[in-house]
Amino acid sequence: MERLREYDIDSMRKGAECHRQVRKYSQRIIKPGRKMIDICEDIEKILRFITNQNTIHCGQSFPTGCSLNHVAAHYTPNSGDETVLNYDDVCKFDFGTHINGFVIDTAFTVAFNPIYDNLLMASKEATNHGIKLAGIDARLGEIGAGIQEVLESYEVELNGKNYPIKAIRNLCGHTVAQYKVHAGKSVPIVKKEDNTKMEEGEMYAIETFASTGKGWVTDKSDCSHYMVNEYATGEKIRGDKPRQLFNHLYRNYNTLAWCRRWLEEDGFKNHSLALKQLIDQGLVDPYPPLADIEGCYVSQFEHTFMLKPTKKEIFTVGDDY
Q: Rule CB under 5 A: which residues touch Co ion?
A: 94, 105, 107, 205, 207, 302
Minimum Å gap between C-beta 160 and Co ion is: 33
Which of 44, 105, 202, 292 is catalytic? The answer is: 105
Nearer to Co ion (CB atom), residue 17 or residue 94 = 94
Minimum Å gap between C-beta 39 and Co ion is: 17
3-state secondary structure of 256: coil
Minimum Å gap between C-beta 182 and Co ion is: 8
Nearer to Co ion (CB atom), residue 220 or residue 243 = 220
Residue nearest to Co ion (CB): 94
Which of 17, 44, 89, 94 is catalytic? The answer is: 94
Nearer to Co ion (CB atom), residue 89 or residue 94 = 94
Reference 246, options 202, 198, 278, 221; nearest CA is 278
Which of 19, 74, 129, 174 is catalytic? The answer is: 174
Cα distance between residue 97 and residue 105, in whole Å? 7
Minimum Å gap between C-beta 239 and Co ion is: 34
Cα distance between residue 162 and residue 110, in whole Å? 21
Cα distance between residue 31 and residue 209, in whole Å? 23
Which of 17, 89, 194, 207 is catalytic? The answer is: 207
Active site residue 182: yes
Active site residue 194: no
Contact 116, 297 (CB under 8 A): yes
Angle between helices 240-253 and 272-280 (to 10 degrees): 80
Active site residue 302: yes
Active site residue 82: no
State the DSSP H helix or E strand holding residue 246, giving kind and residue range, or none if neither.
Answer: helix 240-253
Nearer to Co ion (CB atom), residue 89 or residue 302 = 302
Number of Cβ atoms within 10 Å of the Cβ of 149: 14
Contact 173, 185 (CB under 8 A): no
Active site residue 265: no
Active site residue 207: yes
Task: Please give the positions annotated as active site.
Answer: 94, 105, 174, 182, 207, 302
